Chain A
Amino acid sequence: MPNLAVEFAGIKAKNPVFTASGTCGFGRELNEIFPIEKLGGMMLKGTTLQPRLGNPTPRVAEAPSGVINCVGLQNPGLQNVLTEQLPWVLQHDLAILQNIAGSEPAEYAEMAAALDKVPGLAGLEVNISCPNVKAGGMAHGSDPKLAAAVVSAVRESTKLPVVVKLTPNVTDVGEIARAVEAAGADAVSLVNTFLAMVIDVKRRRPLLGNVMGGLSGPAIRPIAVRMVWQVAQSVKIPVIGMGGIETGEDALQFIMAGASAVAVAAATMVNPLAPLRIIEEMDAWLEKEGVADINELIGAALP
């Protein structure tokens, strides 16, 4: 049996497959379908200081080989996450990262400080890349100075591993990655969704309730692989890769491009068992190729 266990930024996972934030809630719904312990870990739903109702519907649209969403960070707020969500999910044996989003560095810092005291939490994923919220989100992630300010504020508020989730909607993703590395990030995860939109030609209006949304799914995979490859060469901290992963070989592309772990998002929406199938397929691939340890493949395709 090949070893699938990975470790990055001090976070240990029994395999490199996570479910990406926004496509696994806080774990309860998926756990009704399969035991979530089978996953390497989860990045839980992006949480804000106060509860958020999110954007008007429609929030989702079909795209060629993918999906566009504009949920807009609907979440029950930090207090509820601390008292209701985390205590439940942390009973399970997998690496749990809490994704946090705010409208200014102080908000991120306040959340990081509150989450710092949660026993068993593996780390934070700092969301500076949501394309669907007006304040914060992607605005923080597309300017290296703003990105660094958020990460510094979080760094000063917690000893937890800090993973920073990057937006692909920038000219040079490596520049942002270097900025957050310098500000104290322990790892980066990428990519969040690509800003996109659909027109409902019958109504002659944008289809989505928030006009624009984020594109994910297999449609974006080659761009995401390219960005992981670039970032892996831009920073020394570990990279977590995501973007349209549907099969074990898709996941291995990201790992060979330099990712220490991967996250599955859109594929889970269309088939809740997709993350498990990806783990099995990776395992079978390593077995077949005679690779004893997944860690041998991290960055294998890098120059």
Chain B
Amino acid sequence: MNNAIEPIAAEVLSIFPVADGIYELELAAPKAAEQAKPGQFAMLRPGAGGKPYLGRPMGIYDRDLKRGSISILFEVHGAGTRAMAELHEGDKLELLAPLGNGFTPAADLRRALVIGGGIGVAPLYPLLCQLKSQGVETEIMLGAQCGERMLALERLVRLGIPTRLYTDDGTMGKRGYLTEDLPEVLRYGRFEQVFCCGPMPMMRAVANICAEYRTPCQVSLEERMGCGFGICVCCVVDCQDAEGNISKKRVCYDGPVFDSQEVVWHA
């Protein structure tokens, strides 16, 4: 699965805020840029002197093969992401990438719906690029707290894929949750596959609606992670097979992308 990943000291090529407390970080990582598949992630360890101790998992947002770089989006939540926000151009940080299994659009996929919530749009952008180059008719539904936190818009505009926008406060697009419109979109959209990444409550709602409309849905999950490559078994999620047998799968190694039917969605 994760062949020949190697930890490197990656140089910061650029870092800038894209919204309040949200940053875009570009790292020199030619091998990772070449190998990364849509939906894969990176473990980043920003601090000197072992602070923080653990790496932080971040979905790969973009790559630039000419510059030999990958980009990620991150939001400052705690000490680890605060240390990342303090990075400057030229700083180095430990990077392990690309990790995990990405999205898997079928080769003969014709119509896809891509649903992102907040910063969850990050790992969806490489997928959208792939769907476009595969010639898949794609539509996007994007939700955020407010217009200012609607991320990746410039990139999405360049892709020219039809997009519905939703904000909690109505400062951009329609006011409300995108899940309110999802049943209707699925009813009339003839989508063969949904791809989703966002906050857990949103993904749970999307998974339930997709199940109701019998549309396969791939979700990219998040969980507190230890290693990022499968050895510590910390970042598990409850899964069930067709017979209802429960198992705990690793988000980092068995995921982060799962079929939504496989996941046990706890309330």
Contact = CB atoms under 8 A, between A and B. Distances in A.
A59 B226 CA distance: 9
Given A25-B233, A67-B53, A270-B55, A33 B224 contact: no
A62 B225 CA distance: 10
Nearest to A61: B224
Interface in B48-99: 50-55, 78-80, 94, 96
A69 interface: yes
Nearest to A75: B233
A271 B79 CA distance: 20
Contacts of B233: 22, 25, 45, 54, 59, 71, 74
Contacts of A266: 53
Given A67-B226, A269-B54, A269-B231, 9 more contacts: A29-B253, A30-B231, A32-B1, A53-B248, A57-B237, A62-B52, A65-B50, A74-B236, A271-B94
A21 to B, nearest CB: 11
A58 interface: yes
A63 B53 contact: yes
30 contacts: A23-B227, A23-B231, A29-B229, A29-B231, A30-B231, A32-B3, A33-B2, A33-B4, A33-B6, A54-B236, A54-B248, A57-B237, A58-B224, A59-B233, A61-B224, A62-B79, A64-B51, A67-B226, A69-B232, A71-B234, A74-B236, A268-B227, A268-B231, A269-B226, A270-B94, A270-B227, A271-B7, A271-B96, A272-B96, A273-B6
Given A53-B246, A269-B226, A271-B94, A60 B235 contact: yes
A33 B6 CA distance: 7
Contacts of B50: 65, 218
B247 interface: yes
A271 B248 CA distance: 24
Contacts of A218: 50, 53
A66 interface: yes
4 A-B pairs with the lowest CB-CB distances in the bound complex, closest first: A60-B234, A29-B230, A269-B227, A59-B234
A217 interface: yes
B255 to A, nearest CB: 13
A67 B224 contact: no
B248 A272 contact: no
A71 B78 CA distance: 22
A277 to B, nearest CB: 10
A69 B230 contact: no
A61 B223 CA distance: 11
Contact of B229 (A22, A33, A58, A63): A33
Interface of A: 22-25, 29-30, 32-33, 45, 53-54, 57-67, 69, 71, 74, 217-218, 266, 268-273
Contacts of A60: 54, 224-226, 232, 234-235
A208 B247 CA distance: 20
Interface of B: 1-7, 45, 50-55, 78-80, 94, 96, 223-227, 229-237, 246-248, 253
A29 B234 CA distance: 14
Contacts of A268: 227, 231
Contacts of A29: 2, 229-231, 253
A270 B231 CA distance: 11
Residue among A23, A64, A66, A269 with the highest chain B CB neighbour number at 10 A: A269
A211 B169 CA distance: 37
A57 B222 CA distance: 12
B66 to A, nearest CB: 28
Nearest to A29: B230
Given A23-B232, A53-B246, A65 B1 contact: no
A57 B253 CA distance: 16
Contacts of A217: 53
Nearest to B236: A57
Contacts of A33: 2, 4-6, 229
Nearest to A51: B247
B54 A62 contact: yes
Contact of B232 (A32, A62, A269): A269
B226 A58 contact: no
Nearest to B52: A62
A63 B78 CA distance: 13
Nearest to B224: A58
A113 to B, nearest CB: 27
